[in-house]
Structure 1
Amino acid sequence: MEPIQAPSIPETIVQRIIRMIGDGTWKAGDRLPPQRHLSQELGVSMSSLREALQTLQGMGVIELRHGEGTFVCHNPSQIVERCLNLALVLDRDKVEDFLDARRAVEGGLAYLAAKRATDEQIARLIELLGGMKAAIEAGDDPRFESLDVAYHRLIAEMSHSEILQYLGSIVFDTLLEEFIRLVPHTPKGWQRHAEVCAAIQARDPERSEKAMHDLVDATASYIHFVKSNACD
């Protein structure tokens, strides 16, 4: 197995593993080599490999079984279905415009939320965040997705801006829910949501806007990566 040349990144590992599954190196139901062995074969760090495996699990390509190892999904149709769903989203016109609009609108919503949110609204946001964390720990994707949508809609409400809320509703009703469903739900992703919440709670508009931009940019990066590699 040819090592990945430095600098290695989790996305490169994901692409390599997907290609190896595609060319038959590993088939449905096969157990991948132990993580330490695999990291040595690929020439990458354990932390980068773990992040890549989390992404692959979120995509439905592999299954991480505690105490047993890492396995290629038994049902290849799960992978195909996920790729088809991604294609339906990513082939739509103006996806780039949507991502740009989401960044601008949600950044503005977070900025105003830090200035205008009531204490009750902030308490609700913290409650939603706690529920999202519990859903990730329980592996309950539908629950996480429902709470994530509610989280973003609440921040829009917290802005107390009718115009921005209207623009936000256009964003939310277009592709946001599909992106939330398709992007892997990981502790790192939850942490980005937590940073937005903490900034709003601290009543820091600039920090809130930046934290939301970081959250949206991370989602956009994943969508771009999958568009280029996941369904080739």
Structure 2
Amino acid sequence: MEALPRETIVDALEKRLREDILAERHPAGSYLPPERELADGFGVTRTSLKHAFERLAHAGLLETRHGVGTRVRDFLRLGGADLLPMLVLHSPDWIGEIFEVRRSIGMLIAERAATRATAAQVAELRLLLAAVGDAAGGEPVQLADVEVHRALARATGNRVYVLLTNTLFNAYLPVRGALVGPFEVPRAARDRLTPVVEAVAAGDQEAARTAAGDYLSATERMMLDGLARSRRRREGAR
């Protein structure tokens, strides 16, 4: 283990240990080496190491028992969706699995919204859809698009769908810049989303489900292509 730069010591320790845990160099259920051994190996103080442990415990990756040691939690068995942004940061491969859930949940949300949306919610959806077309392109369109999906989730009348929608969007944050492909042309982004909103407005469950599936599949392909290009650029720069 090599010494870490002093000016970012806790951040560097947290990152190093997090990567070791997520890469299973410290398997779930195993105990980390004694603090003194780890601190000496990294060339840091035990105080810095404890701060890093606290952050990782807060993230749900470690648990410390006084007099026993610090153990790696089985986050895949015990963790929640709040871990997704960290997992995406570790490996963008998680995005494919997130998109699979996004597609199935998004279709269900559109179907439910078609049967439950009020007149006021339909009016809000149309206003938010117009904002997608009026945004400047790229990130502003991406953020405007997010608000349409939040409104669709609210229109289901089920707050769990709202929280699931928030969770899935939060999972994108570490790689959001590579996912702007579908949002670079505002009018095109609006037009892709329009059939979903209009089917919900018409109260047509089947049309809403189909339109949402088409929209989510199309944007998924574009975003995965953008992510692959970003990865190739990073690898070419090494």
User: What is the CA–CA distance in structure 1 between the aligned matches of 2:226 and 2:137, rounded to whole Å?
Assistant: 22
* Cα offsets for 1:162-210 (capped at 9, x unmatched): 3333322321221179279622422333211111111111100111111
**Alignment check: 8 A CA contact 2:107 2:210 kept:** yes
- Evaluate the alpha carbon distance shift between residue 146 and residue 220 of structure 1 in structure 2; reply closer, same or farther with a 3 A threshold: closer
Given residue 105 of structure 1, which amino acid in structure 2 is its aligned partner?
A: I
* Cα offsets for 1:32-91 (capped at 9, x unmatched): xxxxxxxxxxxxxxxxxxxxxxxxxxxxxxxxxxxxxxxxxxxxxxxxxxxxxxxx8694
Which structure 1 segments of 5+ residues have no match?
A: 1-87
- Evaluate the alpha carbon distance shift between residue 179 and residue 228 of structure 1 in structure 2; reply closer, same or farther with a 3 A threshold: closer
**Alignment check: 8 A CA contact 1:89 1:178 kept:** no
Given residue 224 of structure 2, which amino acid in structure 1 is its aligned partner?
A: H
Bigger CA radius of gyration: 2
- Are residues 1:151 and 2:148 paired? yes
CA RMSD after TM alignment = 2.6
* Greater shift in the superposed pair: 120-129 or 154-163: 154-163
User: What is the CA–CA distance in structure 2 between the aligned matches of 1:179 and 1:155, rounded to whole Å?
Assistant: 24
The TM-score normalised by the length of structure 2 is: 0.53
The TM-score normalised by the length of structure 1 is: 0.54
Q: For residues 214-229 of structure 1, what are the structure 2 equivalents within 5 Å?
A: 214-229=214-229
User: What is the CA–CA distance in structure 2 between the aligned matches of 1:190 and 1:226, rounded to whole Å?
Assistant: 19
Instruction: Give the % identical residues.
Output: 24
User: What is the CA–CA distance in structure 1 between the aligned matches of 2:190 and 2:181, rounded to whole Å?
Assistant: 12
Structure 1 partner of 2:176: 178
Structure 2 partner of 1:205: 205
Shift of 1:225: 2.2
**Alignment check: 8 A CA contact 1:192 1:215 kept:** yes
Which structure 2 segments of 5+ residues have no match?
A: 1-87, 233-238
Given residue 180 of structure 2, which amino acid in structure 1 is its aligned partner?
A: L
Of structures 1 and 2, the one with the larger relative CO (CA 8 A, separation 6+) is 1
Shift of 1:149: 1.5
Return structure 1 stretches of 4+ with deviation > 6 angstroms.
none
User: What is the CA–CA distance in structure 2 between the aligned matches of 1:220 and 1:89, rounded to whole Å?
Assistant: 18
User: What is the CA–CA distance in structure 2 between the aligned matches of 1:121 and 1:107, rounded to whole Å?
Assistant: 18
Given residue 158 of structure 1, which amino acid in structure 2 is its aligned partner?
A: A
- Are residues 1:167 and 2:161 paired? no
User: What is the CA–CA distance in structure 1 between the aligned matches of 2:158 and 2:229, rounded to whole Å?
Assistant: 39
Q: Secondary structure of the equivalent of 2:98?
A: helix
- Evaluate the alpha carbon distance shift between residue 190 and residue 126 of structure 1 in structure 2; reply closer, same or farther with a 3 A threshold: same
User: What is the CA–CA distance in structure 1 between the aligned matches of 2:211 and 2:90, rounded to whole Å?
Assistant: 25
